[in-house]
Structure 1
Amino acid sequence: MEKKENNVISRRGFITKSAVTGAGLTFGVSGLLASCESGKAQKEKSAAIIAADSENNKESNAFEIRKLGDLEVTKLGFGCMNIAWAYGPATEEKRAVDLIRSAYDQGVRFFDTAEVYGPFYSEEMVGKALKPFRDDVVIATKFGFEVDPKTQERRGFNSRPEYIRENVERMLKRLQTDHIDLLYQHRVDPNVPIEDVAGTVGELVKEGKVKRFGLSAAGGATIRRAHGEFSVTAVQNEYSFWTRDPEHEVLPVCEELEIGFVPWSPLGMGYLSGEIGPGFPFRENDLRVSASFPRFTDEAITGNRPIVNILQKMAHKKNATAAQIDLAWLLAKKPFIVPIPGTSNPVHLTENLGAVNVKLTADDMQELETEFAKVKVIGNRAPESIASAHDIGVNIGSSSEGTSGKSPLREL
């Protein structure tokens, strides 16, 4: 029997009904028919949402355009990390390529990857999948870690100018392209002045190998310094309904400087979908458990359920899912925000993209904020070993005001 949660469709229910109805999806989910005994009303509601999302997503022109700086992208992108690592084994090549192309078929024109995803595998899959449509898409990737091209060993940060140039040449080959639309520094290098990084990317822009420059896990001071050297198009930091860190410093700086903002982990590493509960079967090598993310302990998984309940209450009102409400909330926060939800599951993909059809009013947004203010988030968003690598001003409770950020000052 399918479990009901306040008469709201859970993500698991969404997947089940997707497999049964077909609903025009590019992929099917096998082996779920036996679990489909449920109430007639629940079935009809699930089928209606899936059918609407599938049909709307197939109409590429229905995807509105947003601007990251002066770069036009679809209002939702597709994050390509999950196909390579993080929540389990890498997705098999054909399925990875098909998934990326399914995102394209459903209207996505903005794809995010990085050399360290795999490493290399995500970039390779993005390159292979999007080669036939290269002129019709925006591809973003990231440098910043030293990764041995032969052994794939990761050796810490490296944003030295000569290494950036070497990296870009390898990225172009993996992505099967002659230019990178948006090149991010993945993490601030504490040994290289950000002005040197920005200047090097600026030179690559002049050469035509890169079109625009971005920063990831960067605080306000670093953003200002980089932007003063070469125009920053977008900043990519973690942001979601339960992770509000950017609201204090980074979002105001982006708005002031007319820089776009791209939230990573917009679904709270999957928790905000409502699927993860006590006893959830995390796969082997799942980063959330293997790296000891504080919000994925048994205590936090149970204790943070009221946050999901807030999203599900609004989902019931909007005939949507909790995941869609979370993404719609991000889209409604600022017009320069472009979430990049990622997944290795084709049905989750369609569900996520359906968020563009969910419209939250000012009253809806106020209701969500009022309810969120009543709850306490249990656990930091990342373990200290990971959060410590993020720039000053990125984590809640820290500010880069009066500092130069983690990047050293350039010697005069």
Structure 2
Amino acid sequence: MPGAILKRTIGDKTFPAIGYGAMGIAAAYGTPLTIEEALKVLDGVYASGVTHWDTADAYSNSEYIIGQWFKRTGKRDEIFLATKFGFGHHWEGDETRTINGDPDYVPKAVQRSLEQLGVDYVDLLYLHRADAKVPIELSVKAMAEQVKAGKVRYLGLSEVSADTLRRAYAIHPIAAVQVE
């Protein structure tokens, strides 16, 4: 059917299967946009019907920009919001690209993302990369504690093998897997 938008459902949330990856509003592709330019991009994304947004703490200030869009529009409840942690520059001023799935880091990363986004919870939290120094079971257990705390609804993994996915799922259901 022409014009039909393919949808996906995770839990009680239904959203377009094709989402918006927010890395480009703040990092990686040419000259960074001003915040006003980035907010206009998000206005266009929303107006086009795309309500599945994906960001990460490693994408410069994209979480902050999305938070400003939510603050300006009041449309948080209309967006299926995914963010990732555990890969890249972990804090402002830190230029070291690292992978970090340490269980002690998980709540700190989640709290920082919530603050940047200006939200109480994210719909989907991805571990951006599995940490070879930390068993996936420990990372996922710490992520699951964020679900229990109400800060995250669903868990996802990015760039993992089938074996890693099976081991993670044995600890807590994994709702999504992202592969670049």
TM-score w.r.t. structure 1 length?
A: 0.41
* Structure 2, unpaired ranges of 5+: none
1:165 aligns with 2:107: yes
Quick one: which of 109, 119, 124 aligns to 1:182?
124
Task: Check whether the contact 1:70–1:233 (CA below 8 A) recurs between aligned residues.
Answer: no
CA–CA distance in structure 1, aligned partners of residues 16 and 70 of structure 2: 16
Calculate the aligned-residue CA RMSD, in Å.
1.9
Q: As a proportion of its length, which structure holds more strand?
A: 2
1:100 aligns with 2:42: yes
TM-superposed deviation, 1:198:
1.0
Match of 2:171 in 1: 229
1:122 aligns with 2:91: no
Deviates more, 1:127-136 or 1:173-182: 127-136
* Structure 1, unpaired ranges of 5+: 1-52, 57-61, 239-412
- Could you say which structure has the larger radius of gyration? 1
1:67 aligns with 2:22: no
Listed as ranges, the matches of 1:7-406 within 5 Å are 63-68=5-10, 71-118=13-60, 121-131=61-71, 132-145=74-87, 147-238=89-180
Runs of 4+ that moved beyond 4 A: 68-71
TM-superposed deviation, 1:185:
0.4
Task: Check whether the contact 2:57–2:90 (CA below 8 A) recurs between aligned residues.
Answer: no
CA–CA distance in structure 1, aligned partners of residues 90 and 175 of structure 2: 29
TM-superposed deviation, 1:210:
0.6
TM-superposed deviation, 1:69:
6.7
Task: Check whether the contact 1:145–1:154 (CA below 8 A) recurs between aligned residues.
Answer: no
Q: What is the percent sequence identity of the aligned residues?
A: 40
2:176 alignment partner AA: A
Q: Deviations over 1:270-320 (max 9, x none)?
A: xxxxxxxxxxxxxxxxxxxxxxxxxxxxxxxxxxxxxxxxxxxxxxxxxxx
CA–CA distance in structure 2, aligned partners of residues 155 and 99 of structure 1: 27
TM-superposed deviation, 1:84:
1.6
TM-superposed deviation, 1:111:
0.2
CA–CA distance in structure 2, aligned partners of residues 122 and 65 of structure 1: 25
The verdict on how the C-alpha distance between 1:163 and 1:146 changes in structure 2, with shifts beyond 3 A counting, is farther
The verdict on how the C-alpha distance between 1:147 and 1:70 changes in structure 2, with shifts beyond 3 A counting, is same
SS in 2 for 1:73: strand
CA–CA distance in structure 2, aligned partners of residues 211 and 229 of structure 1: 15
2:67 alignment partner AA: G
The verdict on how the C-alpha distance between 1:133 and 1:100 changes in structure 2, with shifts beyond 3 A counting, is same
CA–CA distance in structure 2, aligned partners of residues 150 and 75 of structure 1: 32
CA–CA distance in structure 2, aligned partners of residues 198 and 167 of structure 1: 14
TM-superposed deviation, 1:166:
0.5
TM-superposed deviation, 1:156:
1.2
Q: Which has the higher contact order (CA 8 A, sep 6+)?
A: 1
TM-superposed deviation, 1:199:
0.8
CA–CA distance in structure 1, aligned partners of residues 169 and 88 of structure 2: 24
Task: Check whether the contact 1:79–1:112 (CA below 8 A) recurs between aligned residues.
Answer: yes
The verdict on how the C-alpha distance between 1:237 and 1:181 changes in structure 2, with shifts beyond 3 A counting, is same
Q: Deviations over 1:216-264 (max 9, x none)?
A: 01110011110111000000002xxxxxxxxxxxxxxxxxxxxxxxxxx
Q: As a proportion of its length, which structure holds more helix?
A: 1
The verdict on how the C-alpha distance between 1:148 and 1:198 changes in structure 2, with shifts beyond 3 A counting, is closer
TM-superposed deviation, 1:155:
4.4
CA–CA distance in structure 2, aligned partners of residues 79 and 94 of structure 1: 18
Task: Check whether the contact 2:58–2:90 (CA below 8 A) recurs between aligned residues.
Answer: no
CA–CA distance in structure 2, aligned partners of residues 235 and 193 of structure 1: 18
CA–CA distance in structure 2, aligned partners of residues 173 and 78 of structure 1: 21
Q: Deviations over 1:116-170 (max 9, x none)?
A: 012xx11111111134100111110101136352413234111111111111111
